[in-house]
Amino acid sequence: MTITLYELRGADDRRFSPYCWRTRMALAHKGLDAVYEPCSFGEKGKFAFSGHDRMPVLTDGAKTIPESWDIACYLDDAYPDRPSLFGGPIGRAEARFFNEWIPALQGPILRMVVKDIHDHIEPADRSYFRQSREQRLGKTLEAMHEARESNRPAFEAACAPLRAVLATQPFFCGDRPAYADYIVFGGFQFARSISPLRLLEPGDALYGWRSRMLDLHGGLGRSVTAYPE
């Protein structure tokens, strides 16, 4: 059966959705080949059959699964003989907390790079993007860009518990990465895909962890258009 991933793309084929990165990494973790169907905001019609208007959407043969969390659970259940994303029911339940906590990290990142997203998507999508994001975030893209360093304290506050964990173990899932790592990775890879803003510096435990994540699965995270690590 063919697995297809409908995945958000920007201009220059940039893959910047943190949620799609979770699924990309999850598929690689399970050792599953997939056909990638990159879709710009204007190409959502490609997966209209799913009844869902956000990516990722995954199809596996006749099955259609939207939502990154549901896709991860589906893959772990449908392919139990392959490396687990969760390591059992407790691991899955605890990963859900990462899934719900991650806005504390991704929210400040989004505010810092939202103007860069605008500048790296297809010109035809920019008017829709500007209008929807300015309405959601309550400021112009330019005002958010101007004030972006004001989000640094919230970003650093979210990094603190992550760094504390990495002081005791190399990955959030222990000696080896699993789905909770992919959830956190999505946020950083999102930024790196569309913004020159440096979020992490060498010497930081999170920088080292991100490097290890970028090395995974044949360097999947480095295989796309992005700004330097």
Query: What residues line the site for its own copies (CB under 8 A)?
Result: 84, 86-98, 100-101, 103-104, 161-162, 164-165, 168-169, 171-175, 178, 180
CA 45 and chain centroid, separation: 22
For residue 158, give the nearest of 199, 202, 189, 193 by alpha carbon: 199
Nearest-approach distance from CB 178 to its own copies, in angstroms: 5
- DSSP character at residue 83: P
Nearest-approach distance from CB 132 to its own copies, in angstroms: 23
According to DSSP, the residues that pair with 36 across neighbouring strands are 5
**Which CB sits closer to its own copies, 111 or 115?**
111
Nearest-approach distance from CB 91 to its own copies, in angstroms: 4
Nearest-approach distance from CB 153 to its own copies, in angstroms: 13
Q: Which parts of 43-165 are beta strand (E)?
A: 57-60, 63-66
Residues 170 and 178: their CA atoms lie apart, in Å, by 12
**Which CB sits closer to its own copies, 163 or 222?**
163
Nearest-approach distance from CB 174 to its own copies, in angstroms: 3
Measured between alpha carbons, how far is residue 65 from residues 23, 25, 97, 133, 178 in Å? 11, 16, 21, 26, 20
70: Cβ contacts below 8 Å, ≥ 6 apart: none
**Which CB sits closer to its own copies, 104 or 224?**
104
Residues 83 and 175: their CA atoms lie apart, in Å, by 14
**Which CB sits closer to its own copies, 41 or 74?**
74
**Which CB sits closer to its own copies, 180 or 191?**
180
CB-CB contact of 65 with 58 (8 Å):
yes
Nearest-approach distance from CB 177 to its own copies, in angstroms: 10
**Which CB sits closer to its own copies, 162 or 224?**
162
Query: How many helices (H) does the chain have, and how many strands (E)?
Result: 9, 4
